Chain A
Amino acid sequence: MGSELINLSFGALAAKQAAEELLCCNRISEPFGLSLTPQQAAALILTRQEALQSTGRIELGGGIFQKLITAFCDSPYITQYDYEQTLHELLELFYWCKNETLDKVSDDVLIGFMKRIFDGPARGSMELLQDYLEQMAKGLRRGSTGLEEE
């Protein structure tokens, strides 16, 4: 039944809705010089699908693109040149981290944390961001609630 769910949630209709949502986000990111083409949007939707599948997760409805773009579009470390690639990587990290934190962290808190690390100590480095997220997830699994309180 799980695979049926995936098929339903990634059906043509759901993908079209997600693409529209993603292109609407250009209104948020354009003031910062960032935008996506329809082809880039389609590629990101595919990445989301693959990230969800590889992490064994499912997403009905959407909203995660808008949250990520709203949070990251003002980052000094993102340019139009690497905007799409950054979003691909952020999406993958996001779903990976949801699992690693055992779903203890809400979407908003996790995205907020990612943004602070990305702009702060990671200085735009995805590798460093991943290291920080790994440490944070380990702490959470050990029972630390530091992230939720931040």
Chain B
Amino acid sequence: MKMEALESVSRIQPSSREPAAYVQELLSEAVRTGILSAAEGEAIQFQILSLLADIISKYTKGKSSSVRIETAQSLLESVFYTIYAAVLQYPNAESAILGWKEQGTEAFFLAGQQHLKRLLDKSHILHQNLCDRLFQTPNSFYCGSIKDGISGFYKLYRPQYFAQETHITADYPVYMPFEGPGGILFIWRYLRELEMENLFLTRFPPKNVHHILEKSCPGYENAPVNLFGPVLIAALGIALAGGEIQTLTISGMDRIYLEQVFQRLNRTQTEELLAGAAERVSDALCLPDRANRYLKRAVKEAAFTVHHHSTHKTMALLFPDLNEQQHPFTD
């Protein structure tokens, strides 16, 4: 097998497209580059069709030989999604193709199903833990999406037939929006990100978080806005101003100092400064490694926001003075 062919296949990145499109492109690229012969490629196509026929038969409980095209299409997308999950178990695309060829489509599909089932089980546990430790906030979307929305997903999800379907809208936005496949792969990632954001939020007094959020987004209680971002930025600001991070309290003097610091920096410099502050925040809050890694990723997004507000002289929205007003929040 030519090295060139392997490189061509491995350039197809799973995260860049929908599972069905990805798997089909992977197959055609494998045939084009000679990793699979044309006959092997055709055989795999027939195996997929045969698998689909079995699934349709199970779906209709053997009572109907035909289904609507939309149903067949969804079932086929689910087959591709499950195969995609199997591909993800391999270190790269070419070894996945070779594994697929060796095992045959049915076994490969079953491996994908097992992976999805494991993920479903793990996400159940993660969801339960998250619900048990959910940050107390008046924001209706936070609790609504995490508790009720995801519970709804578990009730509706049928990985054996429609593994690609998410069913819920997940209205609460995580700080760093992501694209990619739906279904349990989406829910798993969504939960992992929420876990980190929730962990961070629970390190602060809810009433002070409320004050920060009220300033950054008035009426946030009934808006689908992210809670983590403004709190992270405030904490980073406090770290830079030398304040006590856990209290999430910023004085008027702190804000003036931060305005002066940031107005001299471009975006890259802002990011570098915030990255240093993130380490101090992490130490002060005793965050675990996973949360540290999340914080590091989030700093890039935070730097964009800080630089934007610095440029537009609206830093008061990011670093509100806790003593400026009475807050209605009750513990």
Interface residues of A (CB under 8 A from B): 1-2, 5-6, 8-9, 52, 56-64, 95, 98-99, 103, 106-109
A selection of 23 A-B contacts at a CB cut-off of 8 Å is A1-B73, A1-B76, A1-B77, A2-B69, A2-B70, A5-B69, A8-B49, A9-B49, A57-B66, A57-B67, A58-B66, A58-B69, A60-B52, A61-B65, A62-B65, A64-B65, A98-B64, A99-B68, A103-B60, A103-B64, A107-B63, A107-B64, A108-B63
| A5 touching B66, Cβ below 8 Å | no
Residue of B nearest to A63 (CB): B65
**Interface residues of A, dominant DSSP:** helix
Q: Hey, which chain A residues are within 8 Å of B53, CB to CB?
A: 60-61
Q: Which residue of A lies closest to B52 (CB)?
A: A60
B65 touches A59 (CB 8 A): yes
B330 to chain A, nearest CB (A): 50
Chain A residues with CB below 8 A from B30, complex form? none
Nearest chain-B residue to A1 (Cβ)?
A: B73
Contact-residue bracket for chain B: 20 to 34
Chain A neighbourhood of B66, CB < 8 A:
52, 57-59, 64, 95, 98
B87 within 8 A of A: no
B93 within 8 A of partner (CB):
no
Q: Which residues of B contact A56 (CB under 8 A)?
A: 68-70
Residues on B with C-beta less than 8 A from A58 are 66-69, 72
What's the nearest-Cβ distance from chain A to residue B44, in Å?
12
Flag if B69 contacts A60 (CB, 8 Å): no
Most buried by A among B45, B60, B72: B72
Nearest B residue to A61 via CB reads B53
User: Closest CB-CB distance, A75 to chain B, in whole Å?
Assistant: 21
- Judged by a CB distance under 8 angstroms, whether B120 is at the interface is no
Is B306 an interface residue, CB under 8 A from the partner?
no
Knowing A1-B73, A2-B72, the reply to whether A8 touches B64 (Cβ < 8 A) is: no
